[in-house]
């Protein structure tokens, strides 16, 4: 039997991916990378204009994009989104749970409402989307789930307690779900980015003093660029990663190695 080429293993032709938080930053970059590798992509976020812009980029690669404004903190909204996506594409092969928010505030100043909102988006959103999409994956006995965690899921950081807790939980969610769904040939893995430069944080890192402090913590001495996540998410979404499940891969310029 002839060996498949690396190019064939990484090819996503005929696949359908769903990416949450696809309107900007890392989510948008990953959605475009999946499209470039051959997948049609369903783009999910609250802001319609942003995900429509991402879809325009997807269509530039000759793939089909679908923008579905969704509140992922609502199980009803997620179920309606999934139903609309399946009505159009009939299946979802790849799920990227990327949507998330952070709160920078001393722990004792975090309000009940702020804590709940962060957990609802960062954790409940991944739960709702995985449950809604997972039903079809189980039925078809195949699928790829990629959760976006963070290096702060493993290390503590002042004024980010709620975010650290949510991302630590995401790592454990990945492990446990991988064990439950392995029998259905569904791979569940996570990506834990370090400090990436995105439109969301460009203004903060434009401050020379802040930039200097942060860069000193990164052994490679630079920020990650959003498109550097593309090859990794394509690998995890492809047949090349079929023997990998329950893992969290750190892409952080060496920060994790420097603990």
Report the C-alpha gap between 110 and 251 in whole angstroms. 29
Do 163 and 103 meet the contact criterion of CB atoms below 8 Å apart?
yes
Q: What is the mean pLDDT of the chain?
A: 95
Catalytic member of 157, 163, 184, 235: 163
Query: Locate tokens 């938080």: which residue?
Result: 21
Report the C-alpha gap between 219 and 239 in whole angstroms. 32
Model confidence pLDDT, tens digit, residues 64-110: 999 999 999 999 999 999 999 999 999 999 999 999 999 889 999 99
Q: Please provide the CATH number assigned to the domain covering 6-250.
A: 3.40.50.720
**pLDDT average, residue stretch 221-244:** 96
Report the C-alpha gap between 145 and 116 in whole angstroms. 24
- What pLDDT sits at residue 2? 65
Domain extents in the chain: 6-250
3-class SS shares of the chain: helix, strand, coil, % to 5: 50, 15, 30
Model confidence pLDDT, tens digit, residues 122-163: 999 999 999 999 999 999 999 999 999 999 988 888 889 999
**pLDDT average, residue stretch 219-244:** 96
Please give the full DSSP string across 229-251, using - where no structure is assigned. GHHHHHHHHSGGGTT--S-EEEE
pTM of the model: 0.95
Q: Is residue 163 flagged as an active site residue? A: yes
**pLDDT average, residue stretch 186-201:** 90
* pLDDT value at 201 more than 80: no
Report the C-alpha gap between 50 and 200 in whole angstroms. 13
């Amino acid at each position: 039997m002839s060996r498949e080429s690396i190019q064939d293993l990484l090819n996503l032709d005929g696949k359908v991916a769903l990416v949450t938080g696809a309107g900007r930053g890392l989510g948008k970059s990953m959605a475009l990378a999946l499209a470039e590798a051959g997948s049609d992509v369903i783009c999910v976020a609250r802001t319609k204009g942003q995900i429509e812009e991402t879809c325009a980029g997807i269509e530039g690669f000759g793939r089909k994009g679908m923008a579905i404004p969704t509140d992922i903190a609502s199980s009803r909204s997620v179920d309606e989104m999934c139903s609309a996506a399946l009505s159009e594409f009939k299946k979802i092969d790849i799920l990227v749970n990327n949507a998330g928010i952070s709160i920078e505030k001393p722990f004792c100043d975090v309000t009940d409402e702020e804590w709940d909102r962060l957990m609802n988006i960062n954790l409940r959103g991944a739960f709702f989307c995985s449950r809604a999409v997972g039903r079809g994956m189980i039925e078809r006995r195949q699928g790829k789930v990629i959760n976006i965690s963070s290096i702060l899921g493993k290390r503590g950081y002042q004024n980010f307690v709620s975010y650290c807790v949510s991302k630590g939980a995401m790592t454990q969610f990945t492990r446990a779900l991988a064990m439950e769904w392995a029998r259905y040939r569904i791979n569940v893995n996570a990506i834990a980015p370090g400090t990436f430069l995105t439109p969301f944080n460009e203004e903060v890192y434009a401050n020379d003093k802040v930039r200097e402090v942060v860069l000193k913590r990164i052994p490679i001495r630079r920020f990650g660029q959003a498109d550097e996540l593309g090859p990794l998410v394509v690998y995890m979404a492809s047949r090349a990663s079929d023997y990998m499940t329950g893992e969290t891969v750190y892409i952080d310029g060496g920060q994790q190695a420097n603990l």
